[in-house]
Structure 1
């Protein structure tokens, strides 16, 4: 007797093969067969007539690291059909970290992940991963963050990572991979990772080559005031270390819409010449981040308490403002998260609007807000005003996704009264756009599932096949759509009927069931 039979569905199995009509049966958390089965062969029947049955979607870039430990149901992901999330992004996460560094970094990252009321009772990668095993609604995988390696060796300081400190960092990285981490992540626009130079990253990545793991990078365009080509920096790291390379949230934007071939030239050439490279994207023409990213390197040196002390020191303010203006001559976007209640009047306003309202320069206002909010300032990127530009960016998405080494990552940040809609709409939006633009659904599902599973070593995920874990999405291909907007981001999609995680029904008739069946992968 099977646990579940999914009847009469259109199977898109994740391999990019043509869709076909079949039933699917689940037993003990795995797919037990695909073919034709009678209803009385299973304890439970799901009628999927007129629906697509696909592998659960894999979100390859998401900031739910501690948010998920506070909101274990995680409806925002489940309602999109996401059954696995890859944590530890942008070099900004929480293991391996000793107790003091964990407490400090937890507060420093409050503008990204908040400070939920959870016990900070782990130190190793193994202990951190275990926090998500059978305790949350989705599966998780983890990347070792560059920031943690620097904190545990040279601290939150602008100093080279060399000698014994480098050897310690490499050992932490090696052990973390042995404890189940699937990659190493850098966020080279964020401190303390921004203090590291290219040679540091090459040396660390030699461990990745040794362990057949991946260097995952959020690019930077400046290092110590010098501008350079960040795409080529990542390629250099791959060629010189011998490791695999993965580019985070890589797509066209308002300033290069329609220039896909130009954007991808160096990466496509490297791929053709044998470099093992992959990328991900989300379907929006603007991003989201944290206000602390705009502070000069010397202001944040030392971490959370030291940053607040410098912001509060009025004798330093003129110098801080000068350096912000030098590094960021144009700061744009809008405020999405100001949790103290002191600055609620600025929520939703652009930097320019807020500065006029307060009668301050943008850098001065930013410093005051970071001080008021204990660094927990969330921002949305500048939203393109030209509808033609937005339409072109959406066309570009599918040119990029036609490449076999592309996948999908929402870059979701869940903080704020009205956060970026990508946290609630990435996957259904791509399904809708694919329908509107006649992009093959089999290809898109492949990029959302098997390509990601294969890349990050999740060998029992990403495909509907006998013996694979029963992570399954059932959706209506004719009606599935996103509803999250800039004005109303916290809005669930429509048309994703059922979601199974490890063979248990996590979403039934577009409602969460409360099941917490997620595993820490690989398991």
Structure 2
């Protein structure tokens, strides 16, 4: 029936008397939901796909996609950088929606209000932030919906390591629930940054998620190759809460959370899913993470042995850190973001562990991108939020902010053949939409190339799409995306960024509040 309706729609718009707003002609159209993978012509009117046709269409604007793939715009479930430079770098690799789900923000209403005032070339949204609620509770402050609120709290330890009293837990849960009532996309549980929470608190968050019919997105509390308090234990804790409450619980960046124990943790995920437990998972295609230097996991006795890391595994800007520099930043500027090399991609064994996480059938691709930074005149690391394009030479972050999705298409599909093109597109578009669509109706119209779906579309050259960002020079945009449409408007056109593009819309739950 779906194919019949698609053909009817295509015929309706195929005649010479009708001209569409935009038509994309002669492209290899891949729709991961229906399994379509064929040369087709696509029509867009207003902000929707109105035809997917075997017959050539007419349009006011024509995009010739000969030799190119036409796919749903990519959806990044895990993006911390939400400012204009972050969105632009994401757009250049085919991303049409970025979501701050792992950390989240509070208050949600304030955040959406501020985002609505900004220039947003792609779609955006956020979850309700448990860590913000914890910081606010232990510091006796009101949460502020900015990344700086989280960074500035890194010098405090109570919210990271102390079990909440009954009264404190009640306030934490109240703040999180307020975020859900204001339209948050679930609960962001950045547990790796506050591993001292109590079991009852995490269980209560899972129970709240089930009651509100939303998901949790957890950076699990431990990242360690050794037991006790290892990665295996942390993943098992999440699965137990999902099983006991019925909540949908999403595991963030299982690659960096599992370190070299990835096969054991993926086995846990497989066993849980086989039992019908609603657990989903994501990974990014890099052997390094990006986090604040004062994170709780890099403190206390034995962390180097547990994580098989020293200061030399940490990179700030273009240079690896010394033990003296690490101690200085942890004491005086613990909110500074650094790159943490937890696996060596040049080592075949390290690369095989990374590949296991990325290629697993259950794995969504998500970047965990972090905002762009630079050293100011005082030598302090500050966030770059300007509108220069290309980005200034002196800004830096993790290369995943500019290259995650392009790297999948270059390395995993074209160069190494570890996954098919359709599999890669599924992992980057439909699967992320399905993580959310049960409780965020907007996502039911994303991640698909079908009549009636939102016109979030990427057109790219499979022979040339590539990531160029490196750990030393991350501010190199991806290449190979010919066209990016966000809600039917051009964000990338003829391979170039449209500098005044601002068609991104808020992704937000509709609540009864």
**Aligned match for 2:106, one of 79, 95, 100:** 95
Deviation at 1:161, TM superposition (A): 3.2
- Residue from 130, 139, 142 that aligns with 2:113: 130
Is the CA contact (8 Å cut-off) linking 2:79 and 2:369 kept in structure 1?
yes
1:331 is displaced (CA, Å) by 2.7
Q: CA 1:385–1:499 in 2, change beyond 3 Å: closer, same or farther? A: closer
Give the direction of change, closer, same or farther, for the CA distance of 1:415–1:381 in structure 2 (3 Å limit).
farther
1:8 has 2:26 as partner: yes
Gaps of 5+ in 1: 97-124, 297-322, 338-346, 355-361
Structure-2 separation of matches of 1:365 and 1:388 = 30
Matches within 5 A, 1:69-468: 71=84, 74-89=87-102, 91=103, 93-96=104-107, 125-133=108-116, 135-155=119-139, 157=159, 158-190=161-193, 193-221=194-222, 227-228=229-230, 229-251=233-255, 256=260, 260=263, 262-293=264-295, 324-328=300-304, 330-333=309-312, 336-337=315-316, 347-351=317-321, 354=322, 362=323, 365-370=325-330, 373=333, 375-382=335-342, 384=344, 386-393=346-353, 395-397=355-357, 399-400=359-360, 403=361, 405-416=362-373, 417-432=395-410, 433-438=412-417, 439-457=419-437, 458-468=443-453
Please state how far the C-alpha of 1:44 moved relative to its aligned partner.
0.7
Q: Taking structure 1 as reference, are residues 206 and 195 closer, same or farther at Cα in structure 2, changes over 3 Å only?
A: same
CA separation in 2, counterparts of 1:370 and 1:467? 51
Counterparts in 2 of 1:377 and 1:216: CA distance versus 1, 3 Å: closer
How many Å apart are 1:336 and its aligned residue?
4.4
Q: Report the more deviating stretch, 275-284 or 197-206.
A: 197-206
1:122-146 CA-partner distances (Å, limit 9, x unpaired)? xxx1231233347311101211111
Q: Are the counterparts in 2 of residues 173 and 207 from structure 1 also a CA contact under 8 Å?
A: no
Paired position in structure 1 for 2:77: 60
User: Contact 1:72/1:516 (CA < 8 Å) preserved in 2?
Assistant: no
Following the alignment from structure 2 to structure 1, what is the Cα–Cα distance between the partners of residues 272 and 94?
33
Alpha-carbon deviation of 1:252?
Answer: 7.5
Deviation track 1:320-371 (CA, whole Å, cap 9, x = no partner) reads xxx744444553445544xxxxxxxxx53333xx2xxxxxxx2x54342345
1:521 aligns with 2:507: yes
Mapped pair 1:503 → 2:488? yes
Structure 1: how far apart are the matches of 2:36 and 2:420? 9
CA-to-aligned-CA distance 1:49-77 (integer Å, 9 cap, x gap): 11110000011111114xx1xx2673210
Does 1:29 find its partner at 2:33? no
Distance in 2, Cα, partners of 1:149 & 1:178: 15
Note closer, same or farther for the CA distance 1:210–1:385 as it changes in structure 2 (3 Å cut).
closer
Residues 272/385 of structure 1: CA separation in 2 closer, same or farther (3 Å cut): closer
1:64 counterpart SS class = coil
Deviations 1:97-146 (A, max 9, x none): xxxxxxxxxxxxxxxxxxxxxxxxxxxx1231233347311101211111
TM-score by length of 1: 0.76
Distance change (3 Å), C-alpha of 1:215 and 1:94: closer
Shift of 1:235: 0.9
> Aligned to 1:474, what secondary structure does the other structure show?
strand
Using the size of structure 2 for normalisation, the TM-score is 0.78
Offset, 1:502: 0.6
Structure 2 distance, partners of 1:503, 1:350, is 43
Matched with 2:151 is none
Aligned-pair distance for 1:189? 2.0
Contact 2:254/2:357, CA 8 A, preserved across alignment:
no
CA RMSD of aligned residues (A): 2.8
Contact 1:84 1:140 in 2 (8 A): yes
How many Å apart are 1:152 and its aligned residue? 3.6
Alpha-carbon spacing, 1:377–1:273, altered in 2? closer, same or farther (3 Å):
closer
Cα 1:94–1:73, aligned 2, differ >3 Å: closer, same or farther? Answer: closer
Point out where structure 2 has 5 or more consecutive residues left out of the alignment. 1-18, 140-157, 374-394, 438-442
1:436-491: CA deviations, max 9, x gaps? 34322112111111111111121221111111111000011122221222332221
**Residue correspondences, number:** 435
